[in-house]
C-alpha cells in the first residue's frame, strides 16, 4: 500500500485544484471556446527565460497582452505590476487588447499599480477579474459591431470604473445602433469609489450587480437596458441618462439618495423602476452638497415607478420628491421622517413623506410616519388609496386631482387633511385622533358624500382635537358641501352641527355642509355584519334580507339614491327571509341603510 498524503500536501493539492477550476471557469465565462489560449505572467520570474508558459511566464502584463491573440486569457500571479504606457497624462497606464481578458490570482494581491485603459476600435469584448488597480477607462470609438459578448469586470478592487465609449451606428434616424454591453459584478470600490457610464446612444444590456462603492452615475445616451441591482452604495445612485429602460433594485444606500433625472420616453410607457431599495438619508450627506431639495428618492424623469422601498430620513430630508411626467406610480413604500411639531411657513419647503408634482399615476399602499406633511400634492395623480399616514404635522395636503379612498390618517400634530382644490371625491377614509381638524377645507368643489360625483362617503372622522370638518370657504358658485354618509364624533344632528362641523351655521358666508344622512354611529361587530345577508345584488324586482342571528328584532331598511335623498323605507321583523319589492325604484346605485338592535350598517346596492 502507498503512504497516505500528509495534511500539508493534501492542502497544497486542493489549493492547486481550486486555482485550476477558477481558471477554467474564467475561460469558459469569457470565451466559449475551451481551447482558448492561456498566457501566464509572474512578476517573480527572474530566470530570464520567458515564453508565457506556466513553466516560464512573462514577468510583465504588457508582454502577456502583446503575445495574446483575441480569445486569450492572461493569467497573472500575485505581485505588483507597474505599467509604463501613457494615456491622458498618466504614465502608468496598462493598455488592453480587444478580445483579451486578464485573470488575477487574488483581488487583494494581484496589484496593477496604475490605471487600465481600453481604447481599441473593436467589437471584441475584454474581461478583468481578481485584480487590484487604480482606475479602469473604457473609451472605445464608435464601431458597427456585431457585439456578441459583454465586457466583464468582476471581483476587482479599484476606485473608478468608467465606460465612456462612443455611440452605436444608428439603424435609422430614430433607433440607436448596437453597442458594447457590460457586466460589472462583485467589485470593491471603497466608500468613495465611482461607477459611471458616459457612453453615447446604443442598444445593449448593462448590469451593475453586487458591488460596493460610493456612487453610481448613469450619464449615457438612450437605448440601453440597465440593471443596477443588489449594490452597497455609500452615498447615491444618480441617473441623468437619456431614454433607457432602467431598473434600480435591491440596493442599500447608507447615507444618500437615488436621484432619477433621466429622459425617459415620450409614449407614456413605464421604463424606469426604482424598487426594493433600502435608503438611509441624512441632511449632511455628501450626496446633497449641491442640492437645494433633499430626498431619499428624487424623481424628475419623464416617467417612473417607485415601489417597495424603505426610506429612513434624518434632518431636513423628505422621503420621495417627484416632479416627473407620466406615468408616475408610487406604491407600497415605507417612509420614516423626523417628527415635526413646528412647521415651516412654506409647506413646500418642509420635510414631506411624498411630495408629488407629477403627471398622472397612482399613489397606493404607502406607509408614512413623521414629517411636516405625510403627503403633499400638486399632481394629476388619479388615485391616492390605501395609504397609512401617522404622526406627521399635517397628514395630507392636496391641490391635485386624486380620488382619495381607503386611507388611514391618524395622530398628526396638526390637521389630518387639508383640501386646497382637491378634485376628489373622498370616501372610505379613516381620519382619527389628529390634534387639529380632521379635514380642513380651503377650496370648493369637493364631494365628501352624496354630491355630484356620487361619492359614497363612509369616511370615519372622529377623535380630532378641533372640528372633524372645518370649512374656510366662501363660495356663491358652490354654496353647499355634500358630506353625507360619514361617521362623526356625535350621532345627534344638532350635536354634529355644534361640535363636529364648522360651516355656514357657525360663520356667516361660509359654505353649508349637508351631512345627513350619516353613516354608522355605533360599534359594528363582525358578528353583526355576518348575521345579515343581502341578495341578490344587483337585483331588478325583489331584494331579500336574511337575518342569521338569534331572536326577533325590528329592522328598518332605508334606500338613498346617488343624490343622498331618501327613495324608499321599509320595516319588518327578523326571522325568515324577508322579501322587499323594489320594482318601483329607478335603476341606479343606492346606499342601503340597515338598522337593527344596536347595529347600524350601510351597504351599496345596484338596482337594475
For residue 146, the model assigns a pLDDT of 95
For residue 28, the model assigns a pLDDT of 46
Decide which of 3.30.460.80, 1.10.260.40, 3.30.70.270, 2.60.40.1930 is the CATH code for 526-607. Answer: 2.60.40.1930
Distance, in Å, from the CA atom of 414 to the CA atom of 83, rounded to the nearest integer, reads 65
The more confident residue out of 255 and 557 is: 255
Side-chain-facing half-sphere of 160: CA atoms under 13 Å: 14
DSSP structural state of residue 2: P
pLDDT in tens, 178-196: 999 999 999 999 999 999 9
For residue 278, the model assigns a pLDDT of 98
The more confident residue out of 519 and 338 is: 338
For residue 20, the model assigns a pLDDT of 43
In DSSP notation, 454-480 reads ------EEES-SS-SEEE----SSS-E
Residue 431 — pLDDT band, cuts 50, 70, 90? very high
Q: What's the mean pLDDT when you consider all of the chain?
A: 89
Sign of the Cα torsion 277, 399, 446, 424 reads negative
List the grid coordinates of 266.
415620450
Domain residue spans in the chain? 414-510, 526-607
Question: Which residue in this structure is represented by grid cell 382635537?
Answer: 465
Q: Is 399 exposed, middle or buried (0-12, 13-18, 19+ CB in 10 A)?
A: middle
Report whether pLDDT(35) > 60.
Answer: yes
Question: Helix, strand or coil for residue 347?
Answer: helix
Name the nearest CA neighbour of 113 among 143, 87, 91: 91
Q: What are phi and psi of 129, to 5 degrees?
A: -150, 140
Distance, in Å, from the CA atom of 289 to the CA atom of 482, rounded to the nearest integer, reads 48
- The most confident of the ranges 137-146, 543-552, 579-588, 593-602 is 137-146
Report whether pLDDT(40) > 90.
Answer: yes
Mean pLDDT, rounded, for 240-265: 93
The number of angstroms, rounded, from the C-alpha of 364 to the middle of its chain's C-alpha atoms is 12
For residue 7, the model assigns a pLDDT of 42
The pLDDT > 70 percentage for the chain reads 88
Distance, in Å, from the CA atom of 107 to the CA atom of 118, rounded to the nearest integer, reads 20
pLDDT in tens, 254-307: 999 999 999 876 555 668 999 999 999 999 999 999 888 999 999 998 889 999
Distance, in Å, from the CA atom of 76 to the CA atom of 465, rounded to the nearest integer, reads 73
Q: Which of 262-266, 410-414, 441-445 has the lowest mean pLDDT?
A: 262-266
- DSSP-assigned beta bridge partners for residue 430: 408, 460
pLDDT in tens, 72-109: 999 999 999 999 999 999 999 999 999 999 999 999 99
Q: Is 286 exposed, middle or buried (0-12, 13-18, 19+ CB in 10 A)?
A: middle
The more confident residue out of 370 and 495 is: 370
pTM: 0.82
Report whether pLDDT(340) > 60.
Answer: yes
The pLDDT > 90 percentage for the chain reads 68
The number of angstroms, rounded, from the C-alpha of 361 to the middle of its chain's C-alpha atoms is 13
Residue 336 — pLDDT band, cuts 50, 70, 90? very high
Report whether pLDDT(521) > 60.
Answer: no
Residue 370 — pLDDT band, cuts 50, 70, 90? very high
- The most confident of the ranges 56-60, 290-294, 535-539 is 56-60
For residue 562, the model assigns a pLDDT of 62
Side-chain-facing half-sphere of 546: CA atoms under 13 Å: 7
pLDDT in tens, 150-165: 999 999 999 999 999 9
Does residue 502 contact residue 468 with C-beta atoms inside 8 Å? no
Question: Which residue in this structure is represented by grid cell 450626496?
Answer: 287
Does residue 232 contact residue 250 with C-beta atoms inside 8 Å? no
* 146: preceding bond cis by omega (within 30 degrees): yes
Q: What are phi and psi of 461, to 5 degrees?
A: -125, 90
Looking only at the bridges linking them, the beta strands covering 566-573 and 554-560 are: antiparallel
Amino acid at each position: 500500500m502507498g503512504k497516505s498524503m500528509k495534511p500539508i500536501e493534501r492542502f497544497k493539492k486542493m489549493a492547486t485544484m481550486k486555482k485550476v477550476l477558477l481558471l477554467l471557469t474564467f475561460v469558459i465565462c469569457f470565451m466559449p471556446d475551451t481551447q482558448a489560449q492561456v498566457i501566464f505572467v509572474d512578476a517573480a520570474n527572474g530566470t530570464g527565460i520567458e515564453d508565457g508558459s506556466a513553466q516560464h511566464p512573462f514577468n510583465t502584463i504588457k508582454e502577456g497582452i502583446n503575445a495574446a491573440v483575441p480569445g486569450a486569457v492572461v493569467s497573472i500571479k500575485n505581485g505588483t505590476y507597474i505599467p509604463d504606457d501613457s494615456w491622458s497624462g498618466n504614465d502608468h497606464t496598462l493598455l488592453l487588447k480587444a478580445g483579451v481578458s486578464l485573470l488575477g490570482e487574488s483581488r487583494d494581491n494581484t496589484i496593477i499599480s496604475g490605471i487600465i485603459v481600453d481604447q481599441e476600435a473593436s467589437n471584441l469584448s475584454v474581461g478583468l477579474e481578481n485584480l487590484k488597480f487604480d482606475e479602469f477607462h473604457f473609451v472605445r470609438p464608435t464601431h458597427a459591431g456585431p457585439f456578441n459578448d459583454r465586457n466583464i469586470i468582476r471581483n476587482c478592487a479599484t476606485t473608478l470604473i468608467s465606460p465612456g465609449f462612443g455611440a452605436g451606428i444608428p439603424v435609422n434616424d430614430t433607433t440607436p445602433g448596437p453597442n458594447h454591453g457590460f457586466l460589472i459584478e462583485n467589485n470593491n470600490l471603497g466608500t468613495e469609489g465611482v461607477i459611471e457610464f458616459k457612453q453615447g446612444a446604443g442598444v445593449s444590456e448593462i448590469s451593475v450587480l453586487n458591488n460596493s462603492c460610493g456612487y453610481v452615475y448613469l450619464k449615457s445616451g438612450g437605448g440601453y437596458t440597465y440593471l443596477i441591482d443588489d449594490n452597497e452604495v455609500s452615498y447615491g445612485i444618480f441617473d441623468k441618462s437619456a431614454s433607457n429602460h432602467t431598473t434600480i433594485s435591491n440596493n442599500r444606500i447608507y447615507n444618500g439618495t437615488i436621484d432619477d433625472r433621466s429622459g425617459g420616453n415620450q409614449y407614456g410607457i413605464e421604463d424606469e423602476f426604482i424598487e426594493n431599495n433600502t435608503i438611509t438619508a441624512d441632511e449632511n450627506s455628501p450626496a446633497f452638497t449641491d442640492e437645494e431639495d433633499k430626498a431619499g428618492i428624487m424623481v424628475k424623469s419623464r416617467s417612473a415607478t417607485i415601489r417597495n422601498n424603505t426610506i429612513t430620513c434624518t434632518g431636513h430630508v423628505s422621503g420621495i420628491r417627484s416632479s416627473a411626467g407620466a406615468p408616475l406610480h408610487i406604491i407600497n413604500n415605507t417612509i420614516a421622517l423626523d417628527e415635526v411639531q413646528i412647521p415651516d411657513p412654506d409647506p413646500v419647503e418642509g420635510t414631506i413623506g411624498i411630495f408629488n408634482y407629477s403627471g398622472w399615476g397612482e399613489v397606493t399602499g404607502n406607509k408614512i410616519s413623521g414629517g411636516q406633511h405625510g403627503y403633499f400634492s400638486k399632481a394629476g395623480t388619479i388615485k391616492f388609496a390605501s395609504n397609512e399616514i401617522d404622526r406627521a404635522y399635517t397628514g395630507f395636503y392636496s391641490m391635485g386631482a386624486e380620488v382619495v379612498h381607503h386611507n388611514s390618517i391618524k395622530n398628526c400634530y396638526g390637521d389630518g387633511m387639508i383640501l386646497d382644490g382637491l378634485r376628489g371625491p373622498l370616501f372610505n377614509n379613516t381620519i382619527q385622533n389628529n390634534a387639529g381638524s380632521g379635514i380642513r377645507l380651503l377650496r370648493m368643489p369637493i364631494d365628501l358624500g352624496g354630491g355630484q360625483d356620487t361619492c359614497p362617503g363612509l369616511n370615519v372622522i372622529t377623535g380630532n382635537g378641533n372640528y372633524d370638518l372645518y370649512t374656510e370657504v366662501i363660495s356663491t358658485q358652490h354654496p353647499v358641501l355634500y358630506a353625507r354618509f360619514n361617521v362623526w364624533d356625535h350621532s345627534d344632528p344638532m350635536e354634529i352641527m355644534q361640535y363636529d362641523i364648522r360651516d355656514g351655521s357657525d360663520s356667516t358666508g361660509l359654505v353649508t355642509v349637508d351631512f345627513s344622512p350619516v353613516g354608522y354611529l355605533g360599534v359594528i361587530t363582525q358578528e353583526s355584519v355576518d348575521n345579515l345577508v343581502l341578495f341578490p345584488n344587483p337585483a331588478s324586482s325583489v331584494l331579500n334580507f336574511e337575518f342569521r342571528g338569534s331572536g326577533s328584532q325590528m329592522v328598518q331598511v332605508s334606500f338613498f339614491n346617488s343624490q343622498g335623498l331618501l327613495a324608499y323605507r321599509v320595516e319588518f321583523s327578523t326571522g325568515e327571509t324577508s322579501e322587499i319589492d323594489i320594482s318601483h325604484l329607478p335603476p341606479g346605485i343606492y346606499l342601503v341603510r340597515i338598522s337593527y338592535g344596536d347595529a347600524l350598517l350601510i351597504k351599496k346596492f345596484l338596482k337594475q
